């Protein structure tokens, strides 16, 4: 096993935070840019979801449950309607925006290997002009992808201003070959890959990946973790504090229980947010709407309720 750091606790916080700060600092664009957002997206008061220092984002399009469209423009409208100013963007709407062929896997792979980044620059500026930042770009890196296709994913993330790529921790990677390769590629690009979990996770779930590379980290879903382990995620968060890129927030019951409206499940969302506030967390807490949308409501209204829950917890 080829490792690029001696232990999971030797991750360079300075390097990690420096990379994030550089990405955030780079989002500014000149007024009147040719890529400026249409006026429909602009607000007299831009969205702001940083609450007492805690950065709150949303995953799109997943959290919007196909209720508000799937194009980049429709999603931007929905995101700004919630008042959220940070987004973890899944790749399909981004690639549709930049004109990628998505009907054929082989054709898409070939296109990615030579694609330029102009379309991603346009997408970034459209979102930034509306007051929304990209902090994460979500796409799975797989065994069959060439290095050039992987480079495309990292370059797209960086062009958007994101400082992490998020994906599931690979289940078909028994010997760690893929996470080892991803860690090397991430180190080349100096961008974190944050691995997501479902209920299969346990306290040691991420150990091998973060041992392999200082650029392998966590995209911890605290709801799935509680449902699958019947344990609080707080000890895990404290253990891997410097290796977390982002959290996914949802409220689930223990014993693989249901997703619930926030405050009705067993997941300590408020306590996690307060820990982030009190310890000045560098990572982002991501709203992932998964409980059933009540009749007469929609995803935007429910995400606004989740954001208000965060505000109350952090007041």
pLDDT digits 0-9 by tens, 63-86: 999 999 999 999 999 999 999 999
| CA–CA separation, 262 and 196 (whole Å) | 20
How would residue 103 be classed by pLDDT, with cut points 50, 70 and 90?
confident
Residue 38 is assigned to a structural domain of this protein: no
| CA–CA separation, 154 and 192 (whole Å) | 9
Residue 238 is assigned to a structural domain of this protein: yes
pLDDT at 17 over 60: no
- CB 138: neighbour CB atoms within 10 A? 24
Residue 36 is assigned to a structural domain of this protein: no
| CA–CA separation, 68 and 83 (whole Å) | 15
Phi, psi of 79 (to 5 degrees): -60, -50
How would residue 301 be classed by pLDDT, with cut points 50, 70 and 90?
very high
pLDDT of the residue at 18: 55
Residue 39 is assigned to a structural domain of this protein: no
| CA–CA separation, 307 and 293 (whole Å) | 15
Can you tell me the mean pLDDT for 176-185? 98
CATH of the domain at 230: 3.20.20.150
pLDDT at 155 over 80: yes
pLDDT at 3 over 90: no
The mean of the pLDDT values for the chain is: 90
- CB 105: neighbour CB atoms within 10 A? 10
Can you tell me the mean pLDDT for 226-244? 98
pLDDT of the residue at 42: 60
Residue 268 is assigned to a structural domain of this protein: yes
Least confident of 18-27, 58-67, 76-85: 18-27
Q: What is the domain count for the chain?
A: 1
3-state secondary structure of 55: strand
Residue 159 is assigned to a structural domain of this protein: yes
Can you tell me the mean pLDDT for 125-131? 98
pLDDT digits 0-9 by tens, 194-227: 999 999 999 999 999 999 999 999 999 999 999 9
pLDDT at 21 over 80: no
How would residue 102 be classed by pLDDT, with cut points 50, 70 and 90?
confident
Residue 230 is assigned to a structural domain of this protein: yes
Q: How far is CA 4 from the centre of its chain?
A: 24
pLDDT at 145 over 80: yes
How would residue 38 be classed by pLDDT, with cut points 50, 70 and 90?
low
Residue 218 is assigned to a structural domain of this protein: yes
Q: What is the DSSP letter of 241?
A: G
- What domain range includes position 66? 8-28+48-314
């Amino acid at each position: 096993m080829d490792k690029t750091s001696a232990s999971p606790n030797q991750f360079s916080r300075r390097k990690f935070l420096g990379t994030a700060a550089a990405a955030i600092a780079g989002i500014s664009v000149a007024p009147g840019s040719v890529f400026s957002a249409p006026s429909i997206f602009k607000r007299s008061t831009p969205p702001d979801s940083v609450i007492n220092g805690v950065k709150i984002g949303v995953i799109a399009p997943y959290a919007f449950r196909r209720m508000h469209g799937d194009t980049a423009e429709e999603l931007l409208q929905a995101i700004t309607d919630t008042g959220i100013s940070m987004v973890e963007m899944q790749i399909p709407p981004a690639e549709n925006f930049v004109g990628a062929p998505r009907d054929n896997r082989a054709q898409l792979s070939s296109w990615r290997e030579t694609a330029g980044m102009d379309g991603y620059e346009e997408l970034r500026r459209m979102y930034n002009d509306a007051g929304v930042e990209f902090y994460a770009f979500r796409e799975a890196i797989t065994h069959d992808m060439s290095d050039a296709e992987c480079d495309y994913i990292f370059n797209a993330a960086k062009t958007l201003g994101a400082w992490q790529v998020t994906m599931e921790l690979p289940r078909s990677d028994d010997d760690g070959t893929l996470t080892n390769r991803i860690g090397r590629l991430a180190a080349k690009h100096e961008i974190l890959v944050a691995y997501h979990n479902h209920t299969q996770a346990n306290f040691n779930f991420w150990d091998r990946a973060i041992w392999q590379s200082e650029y392998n980290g966590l995209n911890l879903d605290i709801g799935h973790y509680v449902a699958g382990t019947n344990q609080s995620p707080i000890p895990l968060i404290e253990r891997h504090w410097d290796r977390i890129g982002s959290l996914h927030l949802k409220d689930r019951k223990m014993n693989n229980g249901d997703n619930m409206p926030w405050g009705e499940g067993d997941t300590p969302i408020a306590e996690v947010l307060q820990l982030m506030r009190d310890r000045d967390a560098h990572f982002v807490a991501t709203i992932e709407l998964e409980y059933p949308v009540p009749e007469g409501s929609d995803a935007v209204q429910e995400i606004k309720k989740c954001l208000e829950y965060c505000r109350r917890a952090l007041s």
